[in-house]
Chain A
Amino acid sequence: MLKQCEGSQAVAEAVALCRPEVICAYPITPQTHIVEGLASLVKSGALSPCEYINVESEFAAMSVAIGASAAGARAYTATASQGILYMAEAVYNASGLGLPIVMTVGNRSIGAPINIWNDHTDSMALRDAGWIQLFAESNQEAVDLHIQAFKLAEELSMPVMVCMDGFILTHAYERVDVPTQEQVDAFLPRYVPRQSVDPDDPVTIGAMVGPEAFMEVRYLAHAKQMEALELIPQMAEEFRRVFGRSSGGLVRPYRCEDAETIVCALGSVNGTIQDVVDEMREAGVKIGSVSLCSFRPFPSAALGKVLGHASRVITIEKSLSVGIGGNVSHNLRMSLPGRDTKVYTVIAGLGGRAVTKASLRRTFEAAIRGTLDPLSFMDLNVKAVERQLEREKAARRTGPAAEAILRDLGPTVGASASTTTHGPAAGAAH
Chain B
Amino acid sequence: MTSPLPIKFYQTGTFTVGNRLLDVSVRSVQSDSQRNNSLNSGHRACQGCGEALGARYALDAAMRAVNGRLVVANATGCLEVFSTPYPESSWRVAWLHSLFANAAAVGTGMAAAMKVKGRTDVRVIAQGGDGGTVDIGFACLSGMFERNDDVLYICYDNEAYMNTGVQRSSATPAGARTATTPAVGEAPGNVMNQGKNVPLIAMAHFIPYVATASVADLRDLETKVDKAMRVHGARYLHVHVPCPLGWGCDTGDTIKVARLAAESGLYPIFEAEYGEITGRRMIRKRVPVDEYLKLQSRFSHLFKTTEGRARVAQIQAIADRNIARFGLVPEGAPA
- A66 near B102 with CB under 8 A, answer yes
Give residues of chain A (204-231) contacting chain B, Cβ–Cβ below 8 Å. 204-210, 212-213
Chain B binder among A50-58, A149-157, A281-289: A50-58
Give residues of chain B (109-149) contacting chain A, Cβ–Cβ below 8 Å. 109-118, 122, 139-140, 142-143, 146-147, 149
Also in contact, A93 and B93, with CB within 8 A (given A197-B110, A199-B70)? no
Residues from chain B with a CB closer than 8 A to the CB of A60 are: 102, 105, 108, 139-140, 143
Does B71 touch A at the CB level, under 8 Å?
A: yes
Does A97 touch B at the CB level, under 8 Å?
A: yes
Residue of A whose beta carbon sits closest to that of B126? A67
Residue of B whose beta carbon sits closest to that of A57? B139
CA distance A67 to B94 in the complex (A): 12
- B96 near A89 with CB under 8 A, answer no
Instruction: Give min CB distance, B3 to chain A, whole Å.
Output: 23
- A63 near B116 with CB under 8 A, answer no
Also in contact, A57 and B143, with CB within 8 A (given A67-B73, A199-B68)? yes
Residue of A whose beta carbon sits closest to that of B74? A206
- A67 near B113 with CB under 8 A, answer yes
CA distance A202 to B107 in the complex (A): 16
A-B interface contact total, Cβ < 8 Å:
164
Does A72 touch B at the CB level, under 8 Å?
A: yes
Interface SS of B by simple majority:
mixed
Does A22 touch B at the CB level, under 8 Å?
A: yes
Does A13 touch B at the CB level, under 8 Å?
A: no
Instruction: Give min CB distance, B141 to chain A, whole Å.
Output: 10
CA distance A53 to B92 in the complex (A): 30
Does A188 touch B at the CB level, under 8 Å?
A: no
Instruction: Give min CB distance, B245 to chain A, whole Å.
Output: 19
- A204 near B95 with CB under 8 A, answer yes
Q: Select A63's contact among B80, B105, B115, beta carbons within 8 Å.
A: B105
Residues from chain A with a CB closer than 8 A to the CB of B122 are: 198-199
- B114 near A71 with CB under 8 A, answer yes
Does A266 touch B at the CB level, under 8 Å?
A: no
Interface size on B, residues (CB 8 A): 47
Does A290 touch B at the CB level, under 8 Å?
A: no
- B116 near A50 with CB under 8 A, answer yes
Give residues of chain A (21-58) contacting chain B, Cβ–Cβ below 8 Å. 21-22, 24, 49-51, 53-57
Does B4 touch A at the CB level, under 8 Å?
A: no
- A63 near B94 with CB under 8 A, answer no
CA distance A79 to B89 in the complex (A): 35
Does A64 touch B at the CB level, under 8 Å?
A: yes
Residues from chain B with a CB closer than 8 A to the CB of A207 are: 84-87, 89, 97
- B71 near A69 with CB under 8 A, answer no
Of B110, B114, B115, most A-chain CB atoms within 10 Å: B110
Does A203 touch B at the CB level, under 8 Å?
A: yes
Also in contact, A63 and B106, with CB within 8 A (given A206-B96, A206-B98)? yes
Instruction: Give min CB distance, B20 to chain A, whole Å.
Output: 31
CA distance A66 to B106 in the complex (A): 6
Sample of 6 more A-B contacts, CB < 8 Å, known A71-B71, A198-B122, A202-B93: A64-B105, A73-B113, A75-B113, A199-B68, A207-B86, A210-B86
Listed from nearest, the 10 A-B pairs whose CB atoms lie closest are A67-B109, A206-B97, A56-B143, A63-B105, A71-B113, A63-B102, A73-B113, A67-B106, A68-B109, A204-B89
